[in-house]
């Protein structure tokens, strides 16, 4: 079956459909990871986006329940150069074709992804539409142009849990009790929870809009701010809650949580041209002078010039474009990074940050 990807700039890419059928709009972005397509599909940070994979071979190892990062895929569409209907992996329980069809995700293969990614790099992330139903390119282009996505939209509320839930460790750590941590779910990934448990956190995961007063009433040892999709600036409720928590409890934020922390510090955020998505982003730790290869997935960043240097220390920078990748408050127990230290998929260079959170709670 034929499929069409239409972009707001008037570009048309045709290919072969796989997965579900229908039409879906979203922001068209690319990911440079060589593996981990299932983790990418199920990362809630991709809500509202059509993801283009630069790795040419997709689907060849199938899917497995253990690789899900959340309850379902959140992408609007999936684009690949070559799609394999056959999977070969001893852990595979389902082909990617069947998995996408079951979850209603439209895919398109046999697309010149190199040309598509170069267009996104030059023009920037664009609104687009995938269709398996309509050959009317002009209509699809106009529909892509009229789509209202990303800027100004609160996507975190749409992917957050509806009710609090607990995730407890099964053992003691270094002879101590586990630290009680409240994790705000703006689109949290399963392996973030796993890494917090690994270092000894007894977790209560709460919805994105949970009031700070309710969090403080639980008397946690620390608060975690998760990753999530979209523009941080519309999340005024989250920024307000973080401001009420600053100085009251140790706070660690990643990705969207990092951006929200920046806003709570009084800074500003801005939209990147095409974002950082993949498992190979070089980040320099300015405190240790070491370079970490990191996993990233974001389209917005904190403006370092908007932060008060007397209050906020920049701790990490991206070596590709010098964007802010990490910061900490100089007097309050709060720090954050833009990238994903849980790295699922990706390198494990930044796992130490979960240990840093533990040390921060020990001092408080």
Contact 293, 349 (CB under 8 A): yes
Distance of CA 57 to the CA centre of its chain: 22
Active site residue 329: no
- Point out the least confidently predicted range of 146-155, 214-223, 326-335: 146-155
Give the model's pLDDT for residue 96.
96
CATH of domain 156-363: 3.40.50.880
Q: Which two tokens stand for residue 13?
A: 């890419």
340 is catalytic: yes
Strands (E), the chain: 2-7, 12-19, 23-31, 49-53, 57-58, 77-79, 82-83, 106-109, 126-131, 165-167, 179-185, 201-207, 222-225, 251-254, 269-285, 291-302, 312-318, 324-329, 334-337
pLDDT of residue 107: 96
User: The CATH number of 2-146 is which of 3.40.50.720, 1.10.1040.10, 3.50.30.20, 3.20.20.70?
Assistant: 3.50.30.20
**Mean of the per-residue pLDDT values for the chain?**
95
DSSP 132: S
- The pLDDT value given to residue 169: 80
pLDDT, tens digit, 9 for 90 and up, residues 304-318: 999 999 999 999 999
| Contact present, 3 and 17 (Cβ < 8 Å) | yes
Classify strands 291-302 and 324-329 as parallel, antiparallel or unpaired. unpaired
Peptide bond into 345 cis (omega under 30): yes
Dist. CA 23–CA 273, nearest whole Å = 25
| pLDDT of res. 174 | 66
| 262-302 confidence digits (pLDDT tens) | 999 999 999 999 999 999 999 999 999 999 999 999 999 99
Q: Is the pLDDT of residue 346 over 90?
A: no
Convert the pLDDT of each residue in 163-182 to its tens digit: 999 998 866 666 678 899 99
Residue listed under structure tokens 């069809």: 101
Pairing assessment for the beta strands 179-185 and 201-207 based on DSSP bridges: parallel
pLDDT at residue 152 in the model? 84
Q: Tell me which residue of 203, 179, 270 sits closest to 232, measured CA to CA.
A: 270
Say if residue 166 is exposed, middle or buried (CB neighbours under 10 Å; 0-12, 13-18, 19+): exposed
Instruction: Specify the domain boundaries for CATH 3.50.30.20 within the chain.
Output: 2-146
CA 41/CA 94 separation, integer angstroms? 15
Identify whether 355 is a catalytic site residue. Answer: no
Cβ-contact 351, 195 below 8 angstroms: yes
How confident is residue 135, by pLDDT bands cut at 50, 70 and 90? confident
Per-residue pLDDT reduced to its tens digit, 227-243: 999 999 999 999 999 99
| Model confidence pLDDT, tens digit, residues 5-19 | 999 999 999 999 999
Residues of the chain with CATH 3.40.50.880: 156-363
Query: Which of these is catalytic: 69, 233, 255, 258?
Result: 255
């Amino acid at each position: 079956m034929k499929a069409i990807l239409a972009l707001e700039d008037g570009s048309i890419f045709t290919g072969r459909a796989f997965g579900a059928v229908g039409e879906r709009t979203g922001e068209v972005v690319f990911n440079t990871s060589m593996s981990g397509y299932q983790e990418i599909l199920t990362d809630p940070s991709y809500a509202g986006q059509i993801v283009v994979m630069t790795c040419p071979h997709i689907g060849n190892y199938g899917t497995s329940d253990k690789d899900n990062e959340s309850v379902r895929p959140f992408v609007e569409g999936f684009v690949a150069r070559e799609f394999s209907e056959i999977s070969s992996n001893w852990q595979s329980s389902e082909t990617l074709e069947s998995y996408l069809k079951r979850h209603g995700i439209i895919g398109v293969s046999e697309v010149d992804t190199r040309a598509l990614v170069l267009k996104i790099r030059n023009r920037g992330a664009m609104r687009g539409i995938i269709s398996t139903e309509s050959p009317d390119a002009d209509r699809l282009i106009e529909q892509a142009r009229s789509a209202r996505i990303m800027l100004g939209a609160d996507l975190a509320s749409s992917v957050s849990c509806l009710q609090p839930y607990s995730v407890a460790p099964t053992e003691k750590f270094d002879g101590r009790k586990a630290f009680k941590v409240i994790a705000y779910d703006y689109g949290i990934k399963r392996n973030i929870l796993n890494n917090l448990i690994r270092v000894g956190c007894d977790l209560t995961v709460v919805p994105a809009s949970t009031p700070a007063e309710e969090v403080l009433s639980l008397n946690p040892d620390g608060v975690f701010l998760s990753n999530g999709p979209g523009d941080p600036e519309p999340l005024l409720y989250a920024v307000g809650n973080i401001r009420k928590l600053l100085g009251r409890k140790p706070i660690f934020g990643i990705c969207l949580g990092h951006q929200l922390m920046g806003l709570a510090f009084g800074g500003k955020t801005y939209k990147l041209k095409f974002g950082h998505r993949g498992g190979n982003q070089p980040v320099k730790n300015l405190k240790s002078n070491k370079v970490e290869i990191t996993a990233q997935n974001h389209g917005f960043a904190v403006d370092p010039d908007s932060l008060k240097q007397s209050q906020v220390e920049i701790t990490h920078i991206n070596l590709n474009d010098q964007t802010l990748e990490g910061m900490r408050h100089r007097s309050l127990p709060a720090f954050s990074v833009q990238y994903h230290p849980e790295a699922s998929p990706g390198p494990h260079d930044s796992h130490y940050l979960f240990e840093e959170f533990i040390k921060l709670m020990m001092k408080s």
